[in-house]
Structure 1
Amino acid sequence: MDIGKQWRHIIDSVQDGIIIVDEKGCFVAANQTAQWITGYTEEELKGQSCRILNCTGCKIIGKGKGKNWCGLFSQGLIREKKCLITNRQNRTIPIIKSATVLFDDKKEIIGAVETLKDISENINYKNELASIKRMYHIDDGFHGIVGRTPVMQSLYELIESVASQDTPVMILGESGTGKEMVAKALHETGERASKPFVKVNCAALSEHILESELFGHVKGAYTGADSDRVGRFEAAHKGTIFLDEIGDIPLSVQVKLLRVLEEKMIQRVGANKSIQIDVRIITATNKNLEQLIKDGLFREDLFFRINVFPLTCPPLRHRKDDITLIIQHFINFHAEKTGKNILGITPEAMRLMVAYPWPGNIRELRNSIEYAFVLAREKSIGPEHLPEKIISHTSGETGSLKYLASKDTVFNDPTFEDTIKLGQSEKEKLLDALRQTDGNQSRAAKILGVSRITVWKRIKKYGIQLK
């Protein structure tokens, strides 16, 4: 059998795409799978530059042939590199590419053979698997976001619906609701997942610094600009840029940002040359942009450009049923981080946590668990380990716990009647009630007409030790 004559049937039977290019990067051949992946027929590809696939894994030099054409001819070999190509329908296809340079008898480069493996189905499978896990509560998290309530399930579905598109998304919600987590989930679920995710906190930067951060600058653009600098938009090329607190961007920067979004070109500060960029833009704010527009502080045209698909992160008080899950998530996280053998939270402490309104949302809850980890010594977090504001909320009291009073008070004379004397201070009343009840905090609370938590809080406040 003459295998040489059968090479065409052999490569067409291979499940991976196979393409052959000459030393100038022009297509010579493509098997059936490669035609299916790219959307082009072999006749349409032949003679065309490999640039038409816009492969993100190629370093095109374009100044001749062989090593002067692309980086592959210099390297000689590429193994399983994750890339994105653009097919004939202008859709982005994730692939894994391997390539080998071809030489003639004189060791001169005559071209290269590349294999392409379409992994888009694998990505779709992962997303479907994540949906199934959430449906049957196999996994509590969605790209790091914890929650099973209907309002969160709806948010996950919206994220999956828009993630695969480049539609601008604006994430709305109160401070601490997890807007950055949602932005990351959008990036990781979409087709740009393998590319950079760049965050910019617009509220943390002054007008002058913000422009340089976003668009970069050239050497000498202003005092202190000692060298060229790449901006965040350039750094996010082919990936996602997340503009957090976009409501704080000054009007002068808003004008330039709008131009970038419309023209997909940026210009470094101090330069007159434009640079083409390809980024997916996600924004977030906890401000009312429509009111800012009325006040003349935010451009209406920019608002409509970025608010194509709004997503709202619900506050924690609207998803109370998720609190137990989130608490356990943070307990597991801090247990691993600190090495403490803390396994959970007592029912009494959990009731306090659920009853609290959480104005700071997830961020405040996370900080509260971290606070409790500092104080806790046993395997469970109790009420005594929680921040004072959480305890005070239930009793309707405010103020700070102070551990400044005497530490040597001893209850050893239970000879008082169940009454509180007039004119006594708060501490004296507490001491009397505890002596009458042999230190029973629940009974003492009834005598004082307050909750048991208030009694416990006052014991801590005055440094009383029960014996």
Structure 2
Amino acid sequence: MTEHEINLYLREVINTMNDGLVLVRTDGTIMLVNDALLDMTGYRREDLLNRSCSVLGCDVCERSRAEGKQHWCRLFNTGHESRKSCHIIRKDGSYLHVLKNASILKDDDGTMLGSVETLTDISELDRKELKIRELSSILHRDDRGFCGFVGRSEKMKRVYSLLRKAASSYAPVIIYGESGTGKELAARAIHELGPRNESPFVQLNCAALNESLLESELFGHVKGAFTGAYRHRLGRFEEAADGDIFLDEIGDVPLPIQVKLLRVLETRTFERVGDNRPLSMNARLITATNQDLNELVGRKQFREDFFFRINVIPVYLPPLRERMEDLPLLAEYFLARTDDCAQVQPAISPEALNILMRHNWPGNVRELKSVLEYASVVRENGPITPAHLPPNIGTEQKSPLPAADNFLSGDEEDEKNNLLGALRRSRGNKSEAARILGISRGTVHNRMRKYGITYRIE
């Protein structure tokens, strides 16, 4: 085949490529695109031909045009750019992560004729990397457990049953539980057991970011949306696609963001920061909190309408002190993993186990894991004894509530003891204590003042 014949069939040749290809004139207008680029972007040829190459919205190209010196684009100064990671914007407004190579085209006299760019879609690699992170997080789970949970108590069996039912639904799920009870494990279990388990599982701790950063993390932003926004950014909702998105510490979300999240749930659309094009939200929302959202609603610190939208399927994780029958099994599980190189798994003496069973565990399972890691490091050989436990475990614990008044009547004594018991069970949560006692929250306040009770966790 001669060079002339090759040129005759060049268009057919480039249309067989898997990578997108763009030929750009020296004035920046597009003169040729291949079929792969059209498939990647959703545009038609007539949408692109003779238009400025900026129509693709590449964030790297915007910087290249700004640094063009005597030319409109930096490429005409450098002559070649390779393996540039960037985001372009499809016709529907969604981002596409691509790897770009570009080069200047010149004739025999060295006159610039234009440029050629190839774009490789690497969004599938992003999805696989996310899946690898998901799988690595569950790699060392025990087969005896339930999706990472360890426990056979009746309370945990009820939790497992509810998680299975929640997983089969597409409705929003909210997970309640104290710090260290395994709320992230519960969210992952819902994802893994549900019909979206082949799609992404994306999570975000809402307490770790201020309002502006949280909005950008959730919804993404376009280049130039605010100071420091040098690149397009994919938001968590867009990253989740048709999978599950898990928002931890939802009680710490600022009220303005709650309004925007409420709109996302109601319209199933969202907008990036700095952009007005609506994007579809197909992910299922899972939230979690260690706070009493009803109490926050009452104090106007949490929107009631948003609370109703996320509180569709509530899941309550019991604290460790309410399922102490699981502690020996948890201890065995954690000790087996404290030293993977150990030939013999450390054992716990009956005296040490008795101390662990009497502890209140304000940090729940996370605290138990830390205590056992400490004991495994301190001991040299033999079983773990009381001497190997941290100093705060096994010492005389101060009562979080004052002792009973000796001058109370019998009825008052019973009333006070019932109140103390309810406050202990609720760990000072007055609304929960009121529910346990079957009285109003105001009555709990009045009785606490009457008996001089101020609950503090030490």
| TM superposition score category, shorter chain reference | 0.5 to 0.7
SS of the residue corresponding to residue 380 of structure 1 reads coil
Matched, 1:182 2:182: no
In structure 1, distance between residues paired with 2:367 and 2:308 = 32
C-alpha distance in structure 1 between counterparts of 2:154 and 2:375, whole Å: 29
Is residue 243–residue 283 contact of structure 1 (8 Å, CA) maintained in 2? yes
In the alignment, structure 1 residue 377 sits paired with structure 2 residue 368? no
Find the residue that maps to 1:283 and give its secondary structure: strand
From 213, 216, 220, the equivalent of 1:212 is: 216
Residue correspondence of structure 1 range 252-271 to structure 2 within 5 A: 252-271=256-275
Q: Does the 8 A contact of 1:167 with 1:280 survive in 2?
A: yes
Cα distance in structure 1, aligned partners of 2:349 and 2:399: 22
C-alpha displacement of 1:290: 1.2
Equivalent AA in structure 1 for residue 389 of structure 2: L
Letter in 2 for 1:152: M
Secondary structure at 2:296 match in 1: helix
Paired AA for residue 329 in structure 1: Y
Partner of 1:171 in structure 2? 175
| Structure 1 position 143 matched with structure 2 position 152 | no
What letter matches 2:162 in structure 1?
L
User: Is the 1:335–1:341 Cα contact (8 Å) retained in structure 2?
Assistant: no
- Cα distance between partner residues in 1 of 2:321 and 2:390: 18
Instruction: Note closer, same or farther for the CA distance 1:276–1:319 as it changes in structure 2 (3 Å cut).
Output: same
Q: 1:362 maps to what in 2?
A: 365
* Amino acid in structure 2 at the alignment position of 1:153: K
Query: How many angstroms apart in 1 are the aligned matches of 2:239 and 2:44?
Result: 29
**How big is each residue's C-alpha offset from its partner over 1:260-294, in whole Å with a ceiling of 9 and x where there is no partner?**
11111121111111111210111111111111111
1:386 is aligned to 2:394: no
Partner of 1:404: none
Q: How many residues align?
A: 267
Summarize deviations over 1:388-419 as a string: whole Å, max 9, x none: 1112047x699xxxxxxxxxxxxxxxxxxxxx
Tell me which amino acid in the other structure corresponds to 1:385.
Answer: H
TM-score normalised over the length of structure 1: 0.54
Q: What is the CA–CA distance in structure 1 between the aligned matches of 2:345 and 2:217, rounded to whole Å?
A: 42
Deviations 1:354-394 (A, max 9, x none): 11010110111111111112212114222111111112047
**What is the match of residue 285 of structure 1?**
289
Letter in 2 for 1:234: E
The reply to whether residue 236 of structure 1 matches residue 240 of structure 2 is: yes
- Residues 20-75 of structure 1: CA distance to partner in whole angstroms, max 9, x if unpaired? xxxxxxxxxxxxxxxxxxxxxxxxxxxxxxxxxxxxxxx8776789xxxxxxxxxx
Distance 2:225 2:256 in 1: 17
Opposite residue 190 of structure 1, the aligned amino acid is: G
CA distance in 1, matches of 2:313, 2:283: 16
How far residue 333 of structure 1 moved from its aligned partner, in angstroms, is: 1.3
- Residue number in structure 2 paired with 1:296: 300
Cα distance in 1 for residues equivalent to 2:382 and 2:354: 18
Identity level (%): 50
Does residue 222 in structure 1 map to residue 256 in structure 2? no
User: Aligned runs of 1:308-387 on 2, under 5 Å?
Assistant: 308-336=312-340, 339=342, 341-387=344-390
For residues 267 and 62 of structure 1, what CA distance do their matches in structure 2 show? 19
Distance 1:224 1:62 in 2: 30
Aligned to 1:391, the other structure's residue is in SS state coil
SS of residue in 2 equivalent to 1:243? strand
